[in-house]
Amino acid sequence: MTEGKPPATYISDLRPSRVATVEGQVVALEPVREVAVRDGAMKKVRNGTLRDATGEISLALWGSEVDLVHAGDRIRIIEGWVSDHRGRPQISLGRTGRIETLSASSGPPA
């Protein structure tokens, strides 16, 4: 894939249990909260919604990722992990994914 070129995957094409690269706008972010993880430790998590021209998907940000994006940002998730969360697809960075901010929101941080 050439840098600057839109990804071949659109939100409407995302399916659970797959790695995907997708672009979209963060249209909503919930407040950061802490949850207990498998080893009993507490970890920050923030949920939101990512939208492109084809649809929306739930976005999950974990740990230090919670501060990487703000509502209104246009982002690219590279090699994100798509999972099934409560019967709906959800994308997170998983173990190997990363986020690029393509354009920042003009408002204050969410």
d(CA 10, CA 34): 30
Q: What is the pLDDT of residue 2?
A: 44
- Domains of the chain, start order: 26-103 (2.40.50.140)
CB under 8 Å to 25, separation ≥6 — which residues? 50, 51, 52, 72, 73, 74, 75
Q: Which parts of the chain register pLDDT below 70? A: 1-8, 106-110
Tell me the pTM. Answer: 0.85
Q: What is the pLDDT of residue 40?
A: 87
